[in-house]
Structure 1
Amino acid sequence: MGMPLRQSLRVGGYVLKNKLARRDRFPLLLELEPLFACNLACAGCGKIQHPADVLKQRMPVEQALAAVRECGAPMVSIAGGEPLMHPKIGELVGELVRMRRYVFLCTNAALIPRKIDRFEPSPYFAWAVHIDGLRERHDASVCKDGVFDEAVAAIRMCKERGFRVTTNTTVFNTDTPQTVIEVLNYLNDDLGVDQMMISPAYAYEKAPDQEHFLGVQETRSLFQKAFANGNRKRWRFNHSPLFLDFLEGKVDFPCTAWAIPSYSLKGWQRPCYLMDDGYAETYRELLEDTDWDAYGRGRDPRCANCMARRSSMTAPIAAVRASASSTRPGSSETPKHSSRETPSAATARGAPGASGTTG
């Protein structure tokens, strides 16, 4: 199962409109980071390693809305840091819903009981709760006991109040196919979340823990085994089937970093998300002044360390591009199996699939 029908139609129509307009690059999901501060300090997170003065900053609501309008993406993933620490997060989400953007609020869920009254259920809004495993594994991942139970209680509260709830599970090399199966079974069958996202962990250079990111073959083997025996079809994923094929190593896609621009307190981040290539002042500057061909399979050698960071939402674009190219005379641009054997970073975001994780 992929995204809800209404959302699929909206996003599909948006992609088709841009393809008919012959736009080669266009945003699909905006990664919005209105703060960097977090109430947890996860060992695998590289997003909270900022000076104290930066961690105290909060993006004004109008600045965030202006970025959404400037970008024009139909989906917005609000990440951080922990977005619920923003004093006007409810106002920001409400305005985005009124703009008919599909909003995913990425959270560790600890603050949901205190902040839930600031939100209203809507087909345009979903919580994206960070769940890295069952109790022991999740609490170890976030480096604090009791967080798993708080998150489960918060998910139940949200479901009781009529909210759509998705989850985001990040996998490390300490996981096994069985631990992945166990947590997805629990979320799917016992907790009854609407949809789930899963991905290998980002290889953040500034993350305290650098020992547990998955390599390419480890990633493929883990997901091949976890998805076997009909599990992949049974679980309610908020992923394109193309992305799941990608995780299993069945297919490869060109990097489409332009599809998920990131806007934070520092401005428009130049790709990719894991590299420190500076910021652009405007979205147009980001789009027009970036050497996009240097990324992915391009000339930048740092990209050799990337396998799975590409979001589930960029895979359909890559597939559309490949399909369109294959219909042109002399075209040979088709998805290829990757032969790279370097360590992987991963798509912890996603929105929707691509929503960013919060620690």
Structure 2
Amino acid sequence: MDNIESKTIIESKILSRPTVLVADDDWLNRDLLRVYLENAGFRVEAFVNGEEAWLAVEAGLQPDIVLSDMQMPKMDGLGLCQRIKQHFPTQLVPVVIVTGMDDEEERLRAIKAGADDFVTKPFNSLVLLTRVRSLLRIKFLYDELENRNKLLRQVLNRYVDEEVANVILTDPEKYLKLGGETRFVTVLFADVRGFTRFTESNTPTKVVETLNKVYNQFIEVVFEHKGTFDKFLGDGLITFFGAPVSQADDTLRALKTALEMQHRFSLLENEINQGVQAPLRGVGIGIHAGEAVVGNIGSERTMDYTVIGDTVNTARRLQEEAGPGEIYISEAVYAQVPTAKVLRLAPKMLHGKSEPFPTFALLGLG
């Protein structure tokens, strides 16, 4: 969203009768504020003291801005301000203290309570309305940023777990810009074996239902181990570790993910294959580590956060060699986790490789 669009949204909110909470025990000041504000297009909720105003907020009133007298019975303006700022739904709502005492000590007390601005009695209506509109613009800008962050978080949660999403949101420009960068990553390909015959022998509803059960488990495992989900490939998926956030144990977590995927599938196997003519035969997994291009690939309108390069292709070829229930890893992966329990296999002639490729079967972790 560009600056012009954001400005248009904010100005439209200011014109859409924002709610002003007024708290003042002086009926004349209260009525004057109501008249000024309503004539300027605001909706006013007025209360005779801070306690009544706070009870209304607790009951669900969501003001866009608060104008409060300093001195009131039961709960003064500072008490109301503190509660507004400590209450999560209203903590970003601007509070203006309306006071008859224009001295530094009063202002300091109000600032400590969280006040955003001051208006001195008797107040000038033009000054008052200008300050209200200015604070509302800031408040609505915060709201707009929060809405954008929520939307961004929803998108991120499709690819990474919440902890990684929080890191990305600290600097979205760094992590989410269009384009790629070369990173050291560990790529995992997983493929459900026997899927073609399974689709031929079962209804589309059964096929989708079964895939969803398997994928729900696999994605849960990926997020538990803080991997980045890339995409589904019909009967398989790609995930990678090391981007957008890199950690020292990226490759180890990839191995843990693969082992847990095999375990989860074994728990599902009897259920999903019950009563079918061509059962699913297991999962083949391939893992390779190395440099790859990672980033948002596509256009400004449509992009995917993905990984491309020979490292990805090699992981896929290892997966193609693995049988049901097997996890094949490369020498580069084994070098990252030398404590892994492996079986050294005869080098594989992988598609696209000119030389036999050193390959290991992962048996467990030391």
Report the TM-score when normalising by structure 1.
Answer: 0.23
Structure with higher Rg: it is 2
Structure (1 or 2) with the greater strand fraction? 2
Structure number with higher helix proportion: 2
TM-score normalised to the size of structure 2? 0.23
